[in-house]
């Protein structure tokens, strides 16, 4: 499947929620890195947050990342925006992001 200009723009900028991307590319699996780009606006490029309020995702334990995202998704963990964000991801997408972020070097706040 060839990607159109709109799909490539969305993927390059990472400005739309993962659910919108997933719907437009539903026949193509998304990588953890691609999905992780949707987190960059708050959690920093490559999961390296620049402040203490929003935690970095780089170097996160994959099981911890996945269980936290699922808890946000099912509402057992409350957050300001993360409950809405997490509902956009399937279990497979959460697992892909968990593997991706765990593969990145853990960084101190920049």
DSSP string, the chain: ----HHHHHHHHHT-S-HHHHHHHTTTSPPPHHHHHGGGHHHH-GGG--SSSSS---TT--HHHHHHHHHHHHHTSS--SSHHHHHTT--HHHHHHHHHHHHHSPP----
Q: How do the domains of the chain map onto residue ranges?
A: 5-103
What per-residue confidence (pLDDT) applies to 8? Answer: 46
What per-residue confidence (pLDDT) applies to 91? Answer: 97
Digitized pLDDT (tens) for each residue of the chain, 110 residues in all: 455 554 544 445 554 555 555 555 455 567 999 999 999 999 988 888 888 889 999 999 999 999 999 999 999 999 999 999 999 999 999 999 999 999 999 876 55
What per-residue confidence (pLDDT) applies to 68? Answer: 97
What per-residue confidence (pLDDT) applies to 52? Answer: 83
Q: What CATH number does domain 5-103 carry, 1.10.600.10, 3.30.420.40, 1.10.760.10, 1.10.260.40?
A: 1.10.760.10
Whether pTM > 0.75 for this model: the answer is no
What per-residue confidence (pLDDT) applies to 30? Answer: 72
The pLDDT > 70 percentage for the chain reads 71
């Amino acid at each position: 499947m060839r990607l159109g200009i709109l799909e490539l723009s969305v993927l390059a900028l990472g400005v739309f929620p993962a659910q919108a991307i997933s719907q437009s590319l539903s026949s193509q699996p998304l990588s953890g890195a691609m999905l992780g780009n949707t987190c960059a606006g708050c959690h920093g490029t490559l999961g390296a947050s620049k402040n203490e309020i929003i935690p970095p995702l780089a170097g996160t334990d994959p099981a911890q990342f996945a269980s936290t995202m699922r808890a946000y998704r099912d509402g057992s963990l409350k957050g300001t925006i993360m409950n809405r964000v997490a509902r956009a991801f399937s279990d497979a997408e959460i697992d892909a992001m968990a593997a991706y972020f765990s593969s990145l070097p853990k960084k101190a706040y920049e």
